[in-house]
Amino acid sequence: MESGNRRFLLFPFILLILAAGGAAAVLGPKTVNREMSDSPAGSRSAGPVPVVERIYRDCGHREGLPLPAGVDWGRAGKEELEEAFPPEEGWTLRQEGGGRIVISQEVPGLCPADAGKFHLAELDGWVAVYRGPAGASGLLEKVLDVEISRLPVYWQERIRAGTAEFSSEEELGQALDSLDEYSGAYGP
């Protein structure tokens, strides 16, 4: 019988713990959205520190950048942010959910990780070499004197599927050496 009494006493104790947890969740600290305003720096309440990123247009990759030192970024106003990140230099400010401010700059070209990559693609029936990974709108390096229809099916499929990608100029050179025999210079 003593076991039954313990269960009877345990049940209200569990309910008390659940009620206390629920009250803490409801009455606990609140997250306040800060509105980005034109107010001078320091007039806003402290909030999340802004995130700074550079977006590379040709590959779409984002690179996180450090905030300049010497500013209380959690309290910086729009004016101070625009002074540090001028719109005329391509910087944009946007506010996301939770009040987080994202400062971004879109730049032409490929990110450093993709700048040394190359891929083959079809251009008007010919094999073309592009800088950057497959799928990126990298710079056209050259169009080869190789019609894609003259290549073995394996190469045609890789090029058309966007999987003929090379991580270095050396790898690209090896692939081009193997495609050289299909060049128009050798005739039909």
Four-point Cα dihedral 181, 171, 120, 112, nearest 10: -160
Let me know whether 130 and 68 are in one domain.
no
* 15-49 pLDDT per residue, tens: 444 444 443 333 333 222 333 444 444 444 567 78
154, pLDDT greater than 80: yes
Q: How far apart are the C-alpha atoms of 32 and 119, rounded to whole Å?
A: 48
**pLDDT band, very low/low/confident/very high, at 78 (cuts 50, 70, 90):** confident
Asked whether residue 92 is domain-assigned, the answer is yes
Let me know: does 126 contact 150? Beta carbons within 8 Å: no
CATH number reported for the structural domain that contains residue 144 in this entry: 3.30.70
Let me know whether 128 and 109 are in one domain.
no
Q: What local confidence, expressed as pLDDT, does residue 46 receive?
A: 63
Let me know whether 64 and 95 are in one domain.
yes
Let me know whether 173 and 101 are in one domain.
no
* 118-136 pLDDT per residue, tens: 999 999 999 999 999 998 8
3-state secondary structure 40-63: CCCCCCCCCCCEEEEEECCCCCEE
Whose structure tokens read 């540090």?
A: 84
Q: What local confidence, expressed as pLDDT, does residue 43 receive?
A: 45
How much is the mean pLDDT over the chain?
Answer: 78
Let me know: does 47 contact 34? Beta carbons within 8 Å: yes
| Domains of the chain: total | 2
Mean pLDDT comparison of 4-8, 71-75, 125-129, 175-179, highest-scoring range: 125-129
**Among 113, 132, 155, where does a domain finish?**
113
182, pLDDT greater than 70: yes
